[in-house]
Every structure is written in structure tokens, then in C-alpha cells.
Structure 1
Amino acid sequence: MSLRRSRTIPSLLLAAALVGGGSLTACGVGASNGSGSAGDADETSFDAAMDDLPADTGLPADTGLPAAASTKGVSYAPYVGDVSPVSDDVSPSLPTSVTDADGRDVTVDSVDRIVPLDISGELSRTVAGLGLRDNIVGRSVSSMEPSLKDVPVVTQGGHSINAEAVLNLHPTLVLLNHSIGPDDAVDQIRNAGVPVVMLEDPEFTDGKIGEDIRTTAGVLGLADEGEKLASRATDEYDRAKDKVSELAGAADGGKPLRMAFLYARGDGGVFYILGPDSGTATLIESLGGTDVAKENGITDMTPANAEALAKMNPDVLVMMSGGLESTGGIDGLLSKPGVAQTTAGQHRRILAIPDSQALSFGPQSGEMLLGAAAALYAPDDHREATAS
């Protein structure tokens, strides 16, 4: 099996994660979704998230749904809990042989001790969803699942791998992609004789959800479970998009909210508007909005200066909750040039999404989308108190 494919990851996300020491995680953790109970494939916390959305979708705008464009204040998307595994009794078909994304031939003989590492926590959720949560012995700072809270973090200064910390866990398999590094640390782990499988770089599109799950499952010798999890995740995301489309059509007379995704770290120079190459268009359009960066021809990113913000004039600013916190909260954000002059700034209208969920398209994408939509369209239930 070959995992090689030419992909690129927006450099900002990785570079900013590897410097400074700012954590790409939210400060709040939601309730566990059963912490590993498999149950029926359709019985997940996704359905509870569907119930959290306003019920009167598809009705005229005067039925009580909030006027989202004129709503004021910061609202926070909830942090999703644990993924429900498709099975709690799996028997991987091993060994598997793959040519990974670095062109290396790797044989996987054991999945007893897995260290899944990436910038968004998708890999740990995928491994858990396939039924191997208890086999995860190390994690990145983005793997914030409640059931992994006692599993050692092996990244430092954001998303830089501590090779010695990984090796001290005696892993039988390290799964990662190029969203995390550095290469020297990866090579150190390989040279110690640990099987390392470099997966494809993240592609921030919803269409890759099922394919990426199947690829990871193939490495782990769980093809059948991979098909089940991929099908469930894709179905949930499609259902979520349909639900949110109804909700967006009922709010504000169906006029799409104009939204911009801001990436900020601290009060220094890390302040950018992200474009579709980072997954912003997929997220914003799935929320029923218009990505003003895409509208203005931005593909990857551009500095969030006063001129750019004035030209775009978004109704809502979307941010990672940790990024908003690092700027000093809403007041710190409004002190940045141009922010207060936008419609979003005048209304203090920020949609804050947990860092590891904001541009994540893994097995809980549907639930993550529903959480963001609930915060956007039912903001009174997702105010500042839910951020801690």
C-alpha cells in the first residue's frame, strides 16, 4: 500500500505552532461521550449535538431565531468529547506493509503501543474510533480527548516532537504527518528502530474525511473497521451540513453571514487572515457563510492589517479560542488596527472554536460543525463562560 501523494500544508499553521510555545488547544474540555463505549454505529454524541441546535429551522426569520448578523459578543463552540469507536473488540490483520508519504517502505508488526501525532488531533481520534484507544501511549498537545488526559504529551513548545519522550514510551508504531516535526526528531525515532509511518499531509477539505480514515485503518490492519468509521463520519458530516443549511436559511432571511478567519498568536506580529488553502472556505461555507478571504482572492493567508480588514468588512470573525485568548480576549483583539472598524468589531462578534477543532476534518467533523453552528446561530447559550 502506497501513502505517497503530493500535498502541501499552509506554512503559517505549522510555523506558528512550532515557535513561541503557544498551545493550539482550547482551555475547556467537554463531557466524555461514553469514553470508549462502542454501542451501535449510529448511537454517537453526534445526535445529541443535533438536538442542541434551534428546532425551528426552515421557518421565516421572525420565528425567534437570532439575527446572527446583528448579534453582539463572543460565542464559543463547545469542545467535543471522545469519539465512539465502531467496535470495542478488534483484531488487527498484521503485519501490514506500506510505502509512506516520505517514500519509505515500512512494515507494521504490532499496534500494541501507538503514538499518533499531528497538529489537529485527528490521528488520535481516528485510532480511537477504530477501536484502539487503549493502545495509545503518547499524544500531541492537540489530542485533548477526555479519555487521553492521563496519556503523556510528547510534544513541546507547541508541536515540536520530543524524540526522547517518544522513545521512553517504547512505542511499536508512530503515526504522524508533516503538520508536526522537526525532521531531525522523526529521524531519531526511525533510527532507534521504531516503525514510523508518515501519512499524507493534511488536506483541509471535508471530502478527504473518509479517505484519510481508510488510509490510517489500512496501516493498522483494520480495513473493515476503517470502512465503518469512514462511512459513519462522512454520513454525519453530510447530515450536519444539511442541518446547518436549514438553520442558515432561517436566520437573517437567508442572507449568508460574511465571515473571515483570523489567525493570531499573542499581541505581536502573528496576525493573519487565512484563506481557502487552510480550510477556511470549507468551514465557513459549511456554516452557511461567505468566506470573504476567498471572495477577495486570498488563497493561503494575508496580513490582517487595517486596509485588508476594511476591504473585507466581515460580519463575523472566526478564530481559534486559544488565539483569541492570547491576544487578551475581545478587548485585546479590538485594539489591533482595523478590527474595531469592521461590522464584526463594532458588534464584538467573534465565533471562537477550540484550536484543534477549528480546521479539523477527522471522524468527528460532523459534531464539530454542529458545535460551531450552535455557537454561531444560538449564541446566548455559548457565551464567554463556556470558554473555560
Structure 2
Amino acid sequence: MKRRSLLGAALLPAFAHAQAQPRIVSVGGAVTETVFALGAQGQLVGVDTTSLFPVDATRLPQVGYARTLSAEGVLALKPQLLLASGEAGPPLVLTQLKGAGLRVEVMDDQHRFDGVLARTQRIGELCGREREAAQLGDRLQQAWATRPKPPAGSAPRVLFVLAHAAGQLRVAGEGTGAHAMLTLAGARNAFAGVQGYKPLTAESALQAAPDIILCTDQGLAAQGGADGLLKAPGLALTPAGRARRVVGMEALLLLGFGPRLPQAVAELTRQLHGHAA
């Protein structure tokens, strides 16, 4: 009897370790990127289609697009935890997953550096990687403190165009990740004063009068490059269009607000102010 008790006591730490490192389905590119940055990728049993970085994430089983999940697809992977960005849904599916006994943790989508730190800490706690999360947080803060600052007196007007689908171009106003990134990079959003994303029109493009047009690399590819993008209503007639000042950045890096945020802001700052100069 005593021997059995000792065996049970010996198994407890292993059981606790397994419980602290659950099988995870990750939904949202920045969430998945954070899991990898914490060294917890071995716990991942599935990801969504927005999980594009690092490239190893794309080799994992997929559960579909973040906004159109199916309960059956997630549960088929037998996860113990769903880590999701704020855009994950639909809400009914999340409710079904909870009803099936799956732990669902939705991360706040905050377009701030402090939000990245908070999400890193929370994911570290949920993955059983608290120490790694603290170390990653320290590295992020160091990178943030030493990122290049915008040149004094330089604040180019930038129009961000979301162009992933032909004929469905939208421009970013306030309250968007694009607006937050432009602010962090020391630029002015040419569409400030408008909330959210709005359809691009020739009139709005001409009124915005941007010095630079910003797009994702994926959006530029979908439009056939800068030449194709500048065929959109009004863009060729703006100061940016006439000077062919079009900047592209990888979508998840630019808009993900993941662990690469200091790198993203540094790169965007260099590109925007380099073009402005």
C-alpha cells in the first residue's frame, strides 16, 4: 500500500506537467507566432489559415479561416485549449466548443505595444511557459526601447489601402491596426477622421492627397503590383500616385501586432520616411 502511494506521488509531477502544457489549437496569426516565440510549438495540434509565420506553422493541420471556424473541425484534432484572437468566430461556434468541454481563451486585440506584452504573458501562462514569456517580454522591451525614431519634422501623409481582393479596395481610418502602425511610425493617416475601413472611391483618394500609399505585399500581388494598384479609382492622380510612391510590407508583420512589432515599426519607419525624404 505504501509502495503504491509512493508511485502515485511520483506520477503527480508528470501529470501536473502534462496539464500545464495542453494540446492547443491556435487561431490568429499573432497568437500562433507568439506560441512559437515561446517555444511551445510542440503543443500545437492545429492552426487557422492566417497563421503564416513562421513557415513551420503552415505545415500544421488547419482548421480554416479565423472568422469561419467549425466546431467539428476544431474538435477533430482533440485539443485541450483553443487560443484565439479577437476576430475568431463565429460566436456560435465558440459557444459550441465551450459546451463540448473545450477551454476557449480569446486574446484581446490591442493595437498597442503594451497589449503585445500582456498577450505574451497570458499565452505564456496558458501554455505553461511563464518563464519563457518573461524572457520574451524583456527582449521585446529592449527592442522597443532601441527602435529607430522618426526624423524630426517628418510626418508624411500615408494612405493605407487594403487590397487583397480585386475590385474590393478599402482604405483604413482610425480604430484600425493600420492607423495604429502609421502613428507608431511617425506618419499621418491620410484618412484620419473616419472610423474603420471604408471603400476606396476616386473622390476620397483625391481628398486624402497622400504623399505615400501603403499596402501589404499580398495586396500588391493581388493587384498586379504597383502599376495595377495605381489603376484603382483616383490613386494615380494623388501626389503619391504621380510620384509612384507605393510601399509594401508583409501583411502579418505590418498588421499582426505580434512579437515582431518592434521590427515592424522599425521597418515601416525607415520605409515611410525614406520615401518622404
Which TM-score band (shorter chain)? 0.7 to 0.9
Q: Which residue of 2 aligns with 1:366?
A: 262
Structure 2 unmatched ranges of 5 or more: 1-12
1:220–1:191 CA distance, 2 compared to 1 (3 A): same
Instruction: Say whether residues 1:238 and 2:145 are aligned partners.
Output: yes
- Matched length: 262
Percent identity (aligned):
25
Q: Which residue of 1 aligns with 2:201?
A: 305
Instruction: Say whether residues 1:320 and 2:216 are aligned partners.
Output: yes
The partner residue of 1:207 within 100, 104, 114 is 114
**1:292 positional shift:** 1.9
Partner-residue secondary structure (3-state), 2:160: strand
Instruction: Say whether residues 1:286 and 2:184 are aligned partners.
Output: yes
Partner-residue secondary structure (3-state), 2:171: strand
After superposition, give the CA deviation of every residue in 1:176-202 in whole Å (9 maximum; x if it has no partner).
Answer: 1331211233233333322222232x1
After superposition, give the CA deviation of every residue in 1:144-189 in whole Å (9 maximum; x if it has no partner).
Answer: 2122232112114x74224333222211211113312112332333
Instruction: Say whether residues 1:266 and 2:165 are aligned partners.
Output: yes
**1:92 positional shift:** 11
Partner-residue secondary structure (3-state), 1:142: coil
Instruction: Say whether residues 1:163 and 2:76 are aligned partners.
Output: no
The partner residue of 1:186 within 84, 94, 116 is 94
Q: Contact (CA 8 Å) 1:116, 1:136: kept in 2 or not?
A: yes
The partner residue of 2:42 within 134, 143, 146 is 134
Q: Which residue of 2 aligns with 1:148?
A: 57
Instruction: Say whether residues 1:116 and 2:116 are aligned partners.
Output: no
Identify the structure with bigger relative contact order (alpha carbons < 8 Å, sequence gap 6+).
Answer: 1
Q: Distance in 2 between matches of 1:115 and 1:264?
A: 29
Q: More displaced, 202-211 or 366-375?
A: 366-375
Q: Distance in 2 between matches of 1:206 and 1:304?
A: 29
Q: Distance in 2 between matches of 1:292 and 1:377?
A: 15
Q: Contact (CA 8 Å) 1:110, 1:172: kept in 2 or not?
A: no
Name the amino acid aligned to 2:112. Answer: T
Q: Contact (CA 8 Å) 1:111, 1:173: kept in 2 or not?
A: no
1:369–1:307 CA distance, 2 compared to 1 (3 A): same
Q: Give the RMSD, CA atoms, in angstroms.
A: 2.7
Structure number with larger C-alpha Rg: 2
What's the TM-score once normalised by structure 1's chain length?
A: 0.61
1:352–1:338 CA distance, 2 compared to 1 (3 A): same
Q: Which residue of 2 aligns with 1:336?
A: 232
Name the amino acid aligned to 1:264. Answer: A
Q: Which residue of 2 aligns with 1:275?
A: 173
Q: Which of the pair is proportionally richer in helix?
A: 2
Q: Distance in 1 between matches of 2:141 and 2:106?
A: 24
**1:374 positional shift:** 4.8
Name the amino acid aligned to 1:126. Answer: T
What does 1:38-77 align with in structure 2 at a 5 Å threshold? none
Q: Distance in 2 between matches of 1:337 and 1:377?
A: 25
Q: Which residue of 2 aligns with 1:99?
A: none
Name the amino acid aligned to 2:197. Answer: M
What's the TM-score once normalised by structure 2's chain length?
A: 0.83
Q: Which residue of 1 aligns with 2:10?
A: none
Structure 1 unmatched ranges of 5 or more: 1-90, 96-107, 380-388
